[in-house]
Structure formats: structure tokens, C-alpha cells
Amino acid sequence: MSIYRYCKNLLAIGIAFASVTAQAQTTVLTVKADKPGAAIQPAMWGIFFEDINFAADGGIYAELVKNRSFEFYEPMMGWKEQRDGGATGRVLVLNQSATMPSNPRYAHFVWDASQGSYTLANEGFRGIGIKKDMQYNFSLWAKAPEGDVKLKVELLAANGTPIGGTDVTISGNDWKRHTASFTASATEPKGKLLITFQGKGTLDGDMISLFPNDTWKNRPGGLRADLIQLLADLKPGFVRFPGGCIVEGHELDTRYQWKKTVGNVESRELIVNRWNTEFKHRPAPDYYQSFGVGFFEYFQLAEDIGAEPLPIINCGMACQFNTSEVVPLDQLDPYLQDALDLIEFANGGTDTKWGKLRADMGHPAPFNLKLLGVGNEQWGPQYVERYIVFASAIKAKYPAVKIVTSAGPSPDGPLFEYLNPVLRSLNVDFIDEHYYRSPEWFLKNASRYDTYDRKGPKIFAGEYAAHTEKKVQPENKNNWESALAEAAFMTGLERNADIVQMASYAPLFAHVEGWQWTPDLIWFDNLRSFGTPNYYVQKLFSLNKGTNVLSILAGNETVAGKNGLYASAVVDNNTKEVIIKVVNTSDKEQAVDIQIPGVKKASAAGTITVLKSTNLESVNTLDNPFNIKPAEQAVSLKGKAIKSTLPPASVTLIKVKAL
Ligand code: AHR
């Protein structure tokens, strides 16, 4: 790339990236390895999962059929009937809400295909991703009121070619789950499912479902393995779930109610996804929540990947960006009960009502919930009033559970200025600060926590991402500019790990065709997925979190922006390693001389890992997923020092076995 292009990129972000004049100048950084500071919490770097951008249905939930139970507002959305060659056929949608309120609708088919064919096709979530030689598991709930019925079930490629299928016979007039498996003969990113009704007959059908066999941990009806593997690879300290604004709902009626997301999948009540209508510029009329991924699955996911579960519950407030509905204080009891019951579901003995449900779902052992969020991005006195009610009830019954409180949607401004001191005066456990800001903001705020009250509440940086254009604009990119700024900011979080005890990027996932919000950490289509540069920054910190903070100084100053350099250091008492992270946001190479006077051994092997790009606009894509990825090289301590040259616009991690 030309120098002009490079400079243009740097200039494009204005004051953000310092221009270093003298390349020859060496910055001496001193790491006090013999004076370990605050302990770094094992949960420090975590993930935040919300069902936005098709993250759950159409994303981690491996179900391939959209609107499988005909419960979308338009009951046949995602489905298409076709009659050919003189066949007749029709579908009637029945609503049995009086007897089955959680899954009221089913489809009643009547057809005569003695000649021609009557078919029903499902389009999947922006198509169905199909893999050659993979086993697919089809199921439906059905009854045949007028005698045996035969269905031909097929997967079709985008051009209409059948690429696998099977026959299913339905007999009897009782609702039963029927299953059949088959193997696909070709790979296809945009397939569809076709059901052909044979002969003549009638059928009642519901929960028409198709899963690939290769789910995460091979669990039937489980999660998409490649996406979960990307999460597991981060070795996250916690999983915050299920949101986000989704907890609040556009209005209280569509808030997240965890009790409706557990038990048999066919009894989980589908609701609209609040991101369905949120952005006019990214409408998603087919975005609903089937809750195939519900609270049991979230707890199980956290356990699978070695993370602490951090559920967020609704505190009687709908989204304040939308309806702002609140529940009167004297009517909060059901909401409170949901919170208390959730703790019982996670931790209670199998002799308790909710602990028993957990056991019945296959997990008799507790999930060891220690953290609970009360509300998402709430603000104002109405939040404080509700928080007080929740905190006193939760602490009275479960004093060991730490509560995470909202600090509102922004890290400054009137909403924050009101809430922050009030929460501090209430001595809350954790304050959850959110920042969706420019890269410049992240650079300037790398020292935000250096001056925070050390005795006050702990900080949870629960949602953050550098937005390269404007907050929540479709032009925002997961480019190197944003990832570099986040890395610089994260050195500030790490340096202040005594008070900033948890942090998570947001949002986590986005389907390349189904997204509403950008940027996002991991992108995917129906078959492929990739980590953004921001993902590799998160991974670098998470996999190298250490056990204690070490001081790293240039002279007497923290390394938080001078010459465009940002740095933090930790020690890992388990591996006996000193780990140093240095971010060079300038447009020049910079020489650093890292002195580690406290180390006992004068020379020990280690590694340098570098993430870099000379183009701040560089991104990873489905076709070029590793455009920006870490590269490793050997390093050795020389006389208790490491001399290194930091490339322009780079994140460098230096790890030495040195204790
Ligand atoms: O991460 C996307 C949204 O941003 C979350 O739902 C909400 O908490 C915040 O406004």
C-alpha cells in the first residue's frame, strides 16, 4: 500500500493516532515484576451474548427451519405452498390457545395429489446451509386424523436439485413426534427444505424441525459448533446473557421472561424479537425468538466453556429508548419472584421446584451462579427505586450473590452523572458501564479508571466497541482502526483490574445478511464464520490475563498515550510468566527497551505475538478470515531487558518465563 494511502488512513481518524517524529528515539519501559499488584479476577475478560443480528435463531441455535411452529405474526412466514400438475392442497392454521397457550398454533393440511404434487417449502434463515456428507435430523409433531400419511422430505440446492432426503410416515390421531435422518450429498449455502405430501390425505403438523448432526458437543437440537468453538477459543471468564435491550423488551409484554424459555422446546412461548422493528434502515420482519436457546442452554454454554454465568433480569422496566413502561412499585412481586426463582433454578437443590426442573432438563448439579444483573441499560430515579427493591430481596435470601447494576447507556452525560453517584452512595457491588464511542474516545479514555475511587463499587465494562462512523450506523466497520483503539483502552482496563473486574465487547455475533447492528465481534453466514480483528484483540487479552497486575512505567508515568503508546503488564503466578502488552497507535515504528529489573533469571525464552496492519481500514471477511491475525516469534530476555521494535499501528504481546 502506498504511503499516501497509509497517511490518508491515519489522517482519517483525526487526532487519534499520534505522529511520532523521531524514529530513532527509544522508549524505556520499566516493569516491576517483583512487586505484583492487584489480583486479576479469573472472570476479567468475558463475553456478552444477546439475540441481536440473528445471533440465536439463525445463529448459534442450529435449527434450520424458520417459523417451525407457525407462531410468527404471519403464520406462514418462511413457508411456501406449491400445487403442480392438477394437485390440490390447502393449509388451515388452527389456534388452540385455550389448551396450549405456550404454543397455540398448528397447521392442518388437506390435499389430493393423486395427480401432480402438493409441496411445502421452508426457506430457512436467509437460506439453509447444507454440508456434503452431513447427517440431517428431521422431526415434526403430527397426527393423521384420517389414516396413514406419507411425506417426502428433501433438501434442495438453490437451483432446485435435490441433495438428500427421506420418507416419513405419520399414523394415528394422537400428537406424536416423528423423526427421520438422512445424509446430504452436496454442500449448499442457500438450500431449502421441501416437504411433498403424497397421495391424498389430511395431516396436523407442528414444530417442523431440521438440525445438522454436528452440533456443539453433538447435543441433539443443540448449538452451531463452529460459532460456539469461536467463543470457547476466547476462554471467556463469564457469559453475560440474554441481553441487552432484549431483557427489557420494546414494551413489558415482550420483555425476556426466563421461565418461558426452559422446559421442553415445544412448550417455550415464541415472541417477537425486539430488534425485528428497531431500525428502519435494517428491518427484520422475520426476526422472532423461539427460545430454542433458553436459560438452561445459556447456563450450560457458560459451563461448557468454563465461564461464570451472568444472567440479567428485567427489573420491571421496558426499554427506555422505546416505550419506557415501568411496573408500579407495589406490583413488582412477580418480577422479584422471577429473580429469586432464577437463582433457585441455577443453584437450588433438586428437591426445590426450580432446581428440580434443572435436574429434569439434565443437569442435577448446580450451575453455581454468583452474579446477577438487575436491569440492563436502565436509568433515572425509577431505576434506583426498583434496584433497591430487588437488591434487598435478593441479598436477604442470597447474600453471596453479587448484583450488577446499570449505569445507563453512556459512560458520561446527564444520565450517567445522576446514576453514578447515587449507585456509589448505595454501595452497590458492580456498576455496568457501556461505551459505544469513537476510536478517539477509546484512546482518550485509556486512563479513565486511573483516577477512580479504589474503595467504591467494582466496574463491569459490560458493553463496548469502537464505532468508526457514528453510533449504530450501518457504515461502522470492524476494521483495524477500531480494534487498535479497543486494545489501547483495554490496557487501561487491565492496569486498573483492582476495580475493573469484568469486561465484554458488544454485540457478539452478526449474520452477514441478518444483522441490525454493527460492529460485532464475530460474523457468520449459513456455513462459515470468522473472528474480526476486534476478536483477536479480545483473545489476546483473555488468553493472557495473568494473575496479578504489574506496574509498567515510562519514567514515572503510566503508558497511556504519549507518542501513541499504551501499555499494561501482568504476571501469571501459575506459569511464572511476565506478560506485557504494548499498543503502538502511531504511524511509525517505535523502539522500546523493556526493563524487568525484578526478574530472578537473567535470560529466559519467551514469545512475542503481534497483531498489526498498515491499513487502518483492513477487515477480516468470510473470504479472507485471517487477513488480520496474530503472528508469533521468539524473544529472549537479555540482561533483564527486552529490546523490541513495535510496528506502526500494532498490538504487541511479550511473554517471558522470568520468575
Ligand atoms: O449491544 C447492543 C445494544 O446496545 C444492547 O442491547 C443494549 O444494551 C445497548 O444499547
Would the CB of 243 count as within 6 Å of ligand 1? Answer: yes
- Residue 101 has a pLDDT of 95
pLDDT given for residue 602 in this prediction? 55
The per-residue DSSP string of 73-105 comes to: SSTTTTEEEEEETT-EEEEEEEE-TTT-TTS-E
Residues 250, 252, 253, 257: what is their CA dihedral angle, to the nearest 10 degrees?
100
Rounded-to-integer distance, Cα 359 and Cα 352, Å? 10
248 within ligand 1 shell (Cβ under 6 A) = no
Contact 602, 650 (CB under 8 A): no
Task: With H, G, I as helix, E, B as strand and everything else as coil, classify residue 627.
Answer: coil
* Residue whose CB lies within 8 A of the most ligand 1 atoms, among 51, 54, 245, 310, for a mutation test: 245
Decide: 341 and 260 in contact? Cβ < 8 Å. Answer: no
Domain 79-212 has CATH 2.102.10.10: no
Q: What pLDDT shows up at residue 19?
A: 54
Counting residues of the chain whose pLDDT is more than 90, the rounded percentage is 92
> Ligand 1 test: best mutation among 436, 471, 521, 534, most atoms within 8 Å of CB?
436
DSSP string for residues in 191-251: EEEEEEEEEEEEEEEEEEEEEES-BGGG-TT-BBHHHHHHHHHT--SEEEES-SHHHH-SS
- Write down the pLDDT at residue 13: 44
Q: Which atom of ligand 1 is nearest to the CA of 243?
A: 6
Reported CATH class of domain 47-63+240-472+485-522: alpha beta
Sequence ranges of the domains in the chain: 27-39+548-658, 47-63+240-472+485-522, 79-212
278 CB under 6 A from ligand 1? no
What is the rounded CA–CA span in Å between residue 75 and residue 501?
46
Residues taking part in catalysis: 377
Polymer length of the chain: 659
How many other C-beta atoms can be found within 10 angstroms of the C-beta atom of residue 95?
A: 12
pTM for the structure as a whole: 0.96
Q: Could you identify the residue written with the cell 437451483?
A: 159
Using an 8 Å Cβ cutoff, are 224 and 172 in contact?
A: no
- Gap from CA of 462 to ligand 1 centroid (Å): 10
The upper half-sphere exposure of residue 98, i.e. CA atoms within 13 Å in the direction of its Cβ, equals: 1
Residues 269, 265: Cα–Cα separation, whole Å: 9
Q: What is the pLDDT of residue 600?
A: 73
Q: How far apart are CA 62 and CA 125, in angstroms?
A: 11
Q: How far is the CA of 244 from the centre of ligand 1 (A)?
A: 5
Rounded Cα distance, 524 and 522, in Å = 7
Tens digits of residue pLDDT in 175-217: 999 999 999 999 999 999 999 999 999 999 999 999 999 999 9
CA distance 566 to 267: 52
Torsion of CA 432, 50, 218, 44, to 10 degrees: -20
Biggest CA–CA distance in the chain, Å, is 88
Q: What pLDDT does residue 604 have?
A: 67
Choosing from 54, 250, 434 the residue with most ligand 1 atoms within 8 A of its CB, the one to mutate for a pocket test is 434
Contacts of 627 (CB under 8 A, 6+ apart): 613, 618, 619, 620, 621
**Which residue has its alpha carbon closest to ligand 1 atom 7?**
244
Domain 27-39+548-658 has what CATH class? Answer: mainly beta
> Separation of 245 CA from ligand 1 center, angstroms?
6
Distance CA 617, CA 627 (A): 12
Q: Is 317 helix (H, G, I), strand (E, B) or coil?
A: strand
- For residue 418, what is the enclosing H or E element? helix 413-425
- DSSP string covering 11-41, please? HHTGGGSPPP--TT-EEEEEE-TTS--SBPP
Residue 506 in contact with ligand 1 by CB distance below 6 A: yes
Residue located via cell numbers 498490538: 651
Which protein residue has the closest C-alpha to ligand 1 atom 6?
244
Please list the rounded mean pLDDT of every run of 10 residues in the chain (659 residues): 36 46 77 95 98 98 98 98 98 96 97 98 98 98 97 98 98 97 98 98 98 98 98 98 98 98 98 95 96 98 98 98 97 98 98 98 98 98 98 98 98 98 98 97 98 97 95 91 98 98 98 97 98 98 98 97 98 94 97 89 78 97 98 85 94 89
Cell (9 digits) for 561: 498515550
**For residue 433, which of 461, 464, 405 has the smallest C-alpha distance?**
461
Containing 46, the helix (H) or strand (E) segment is none
Residue 631, C-beta contacts closer than 8 angstroms, at least 6 positions apart? 609, 610, 611
Q: How far is the CA of 98 from the centre of ligand 1 (A)?
A: 36
Please list, residue by residue across 36-66, b when 16 or more beta carbons sit within 10 angstroms of its beta carbon and e when fewer do: bbeebbebbbbbbbbbbbbbbbbbbbbbbbb
Cell 448446580 sits at which residue? 366
CA dist., res. 324 & res. 229, Å (int)? 37
Grid coordinates given for 627? 487477513
